[in-house]
Structure 1
Amino acid sequence: MKFGKGLKIMIALIAILLLIDLFAGNYFYNLAIKREQKTFLQGNDDLEVSAAAMDVFTKGGWRDWVASQDFDEWQLQTFDDLTLQGYYLPAKKDTNKTVIFGHGYLGEATDMGLYAQYYYEELGYNIFLFDMRGHGKSEGDYFGFGWHDRLDVLDWTDRVIDQVGDNAEIVLHGLSMGAGTMLMASGEDLPPQVQAVVADSGYTNVYDLFQYQMNRMYNLPAFPILPTTSMVANIRADYSFFEASALDQVKKAEVPILYFHGRDDTFVPFKMANKLYKQTNSYAEIYLYDDAGHGEAYAIHKEKYQTKLSDFLTKFIE
């Protein structure tokens, strides 16, 4: 009799814990993945921008440059029937060289104008920017952290080839979540026109990223909340944190990859970039920059970044 009562209490406690875990999984899904305003990042010290970088981000003149360009607006229908928005700018002189940009979490296409201006004005590339699913003018009620977005990149790449021609030479350049996207795309069957990938401030996989941030922001262990959140994401957004892995993809990559990362990045630690670099199957280079936080390397070390970028691209693009 006593054993039966104890068993019932134990089952009730387990049921309560499972309900709490499921509630937490849904909470963190809504917090990080559902498309809505994200107030939890406000006041986050890991995303505090240095004065030097902020000056470039706000006063560099590149936003005026973007606003003054006459982009062609493109749309893409995705494999899961979303409509994405893109912006194409042909180079001043006819060229087969094109860069496709991927922006960061909560950003939009035009955020990559800081980099696009250099490709356009100095390297003479055609420019293509797009709002990733769930961002900007693109449809989607969740953030994919690169996994579904990698397939969108393949479709956008085909669209660029249609525009430029079969002799197109294409660079995939991503920042933060955009870097994760381009790295995840690198392991796919890319068309031969894709000649190089540039990944700035990328992460190994979504599980590692969230595990690191849960511990840093909330002092919470990954288990059991994060596996449950991944299960919720699989149900609501059709991807799990385990499969969304840039690390697994670069192990299959055949395209050359250039990694940039700031040593002072506490939002996505530079150790992730080192791990990605060491596991990359294809030719790869990595450059780590002192005094640079998340996504700040270009703003703070502009000339060094541009030199490394240009030298890398000239190895693989005529």
Structure 2
Amino acid sequence: MLTILILAALLLLLLTAGLTGFAFRLITQMKLQPPERIFEYLESTGVYSRERFDNLAKKEVQVTSKDGLTLYGYALEFNPENKRWVIIVHGYTVSLYVSAQYIDMFDQKGFSVLLIDQRRHGNSQGRYTTYGFMEKYDVATWVQWVLEQYGEDCVIGLHGQSFGGGTVLEYLGIADRRVKFVVADCPYSDLTKLMRHQMRVLNKIPTFPLLWLVNRRMQRVAGFRMEQVSPLKAVGHSVMPVLFVHGTKDNYVPTYMSMELYERKPEPKRLLLVEGAVHANAYGVNPKRYAEEVHALIESAIGMEGLSEEYYSLQNEAEPAAAT
């Protein structure tokens, strides 16, 4: 009987270790999608094509992250004389190609566009995805690159989708004063809540003790804990204009997450819920309404420049997001 109990305990330990390793890799090192698959999706929704992207006049650019990684992007100098730039940040397992769908929307408002590969994605270096914990500093590096290349008086906006939405919201805690607005498309409000939802609801896996074990491994191997990533905390301390976008049928990152982010965020803020859209396809479902909301955000944010001293005194007086 004792032997059976010992064997059963060992089997349980092995199973738990195996599940922990699998979940850790799924969260931080999931297989990346090739460009061909990304463009197949964009073309199937009618929002962009491989041919259009290939014909764009674009400049390959690289920067070095604060921890020594080479990060890769494309600069599209549509309107360099306007000194308006938007940095578009993609989601998990894809790359900068998926961001091409948003190019026209910003070009119409006189913006040049910087498409970037997040760390571990596309052509950028990196071993683990940290959901904004380190990626927010990568965004800061790209912001600085724009200012150095095109002038300290540039007006910069950020757009992020899914994991990219979480990244740009995390960036609010360290935002440069030249960044004027953020569009967060289907972002998560809190990483722990997101992983609990995806384990329990999507994968039918018990969260205890697996979530705790995965979190320990993330701290030990990838250098961060889930509780250190919470856009909900970051938005609560920011007065930067933000547009939250979410599909009403999103079950991968639940729609309520954008709603609670919107509730926590001080003014100015906007919320667009796209009826019938699932995860990361709000633009594909209703591009006209999406663009209208983004343009309205831009007009209100740029219009705030006349109140810049008051605006940035408020920004500086606001308690910064907790350091993580």
Q: Is 2:283 aligned against 1:298?
A: yes
Contact 1:65-1:117 at 8 Å conserved across structures: no
Conservation of the 8 A alpha-carbon contact between 1:63 and 1:114: no
d(CA) in 1 for partners of 2:4 and 2:239? 56
* Counterpart selection for 2:246 from 232, 255, 261: 261
Residue 150 of structure 2 is aligned with which of 132, 155, 164? 164
SS of 2:156 mapped into structure 1: strand
Secondary structure at the aligned position of 1:286 is classed as strand
CA drift at 1:65: 2.4
Cα RMSD (Å): 2.6
**Equivalent residue, structure 1, for 2:72:** 85
Of 63, 71, 75, 1:76 maps to 63
**Does 2:89 match 1:102?**
yes
Alignment of 1:203-222 (within 5 A): 203-222=188-207
TM-score (norm 1): 0.86
Correspondent of 1:280 among 252, 256, 265: 265
5+ residue gaps, structure 2: 34-39, 304-324
Give the Å deviation of 1:166. Answer: 1.4
CA contact (8 A) 1:211 1:222 kept: yes
Amino acid aligned to 2:172: S
Change (3 A) 1:138 1:126: same
- 1:18-97 to structure 2, matched below 5 A, reads 20-34=15-29, 36=31, 57=44, 59-92=46-79, 94-97=81-84
* 8 Å contact kept, 2:70–2:125: yes
Q: Which of these residues, 108, 132, 138, is aligned with residue 152 of structure 1?
A: 138
The residue aligned with 1:48 is: none
Give the count of matched residue pairs.
Answer: 298
- Percentage identity across aligned positions? 28
Gapped regions of structure 1 (runs ≥ 5):
39-52
Aligned partners of 2:31 and 2:93 also within 8 Å: no
Aligned mates of 2:45, 2:140 — CA distance in 1 = 32
Alpha-carbon distance in 2 for matches of 1:74, 1:103: 17
Q: Deviation per CA, 1:100-139, whole angstroms, max 9, x where unpaired?
A: 010011111121010012212x112010011001100001
AA of the residue aligned to 1:140: G
**Partner residue of 1:42?**
none
Worse-superposed segment, 11-20 or 298-307 = 11-20
Are the equivalent residues in 1 in contact too, given 2:241–2:297 (CA < 8 A)? Answer: no
Tell me the residue number matched to 2:100.
113
Paired with 1:93 and 1:140, the residues of 2 have a C-alpha distance of 31
Q: For each residue in 1:249-270, what CA deviation from the matched residue of structure 2 results, as whole angstroms up to 9, or x when unmatched?
A: 1112231111010001111111
Q: Which amino acid aligns with 1:217?
A: L
Q: Check conservation: 2:46, 2:284, Cα contact below 8 A.
A: no
Please tell me the residue identity of whatever aligns with 1:124.
Answer: G
Instruction: Give the superposition deviation at 1:217.
Output: 2.6
SS of 1:110's equivalent? helix
1:205, distance to aligned residue in structure 2 (A): 1.8
Show CA shifts across 1:251-302 (max 9, x none).
1223111101000111111101101111113521111111111111111111
For residues 106 and 167 of structure 1, the distance between their equivalents in structure 2, rounded to whole angstroms, comes to: 34
Counterpart CA distance in 2 for 1:37 and 1:102 is 16
Taking CA–CA contacts closer than 8 Å with sequence separation of 6 or more, which of the two structures ends up with the larger relative contact order? 1
How much has 1:10 moved relative to structure 2?
9.3
Q: 4+ runs of 1 displaced by more than 6 Å?
A: 8-16
How many Å separate the matches in 2 of 1:232 and 1:128? 34
Which secondary structure state, in structure 2, belongs to the residue aligned with residue 261 of structure 1?
strand
Query: Cα 1:312–1:15, aligned 2, differ >3 Å: closer, same or farther?
Result: same
Residue 317 of structure 2 is matched in structure 1 by: none
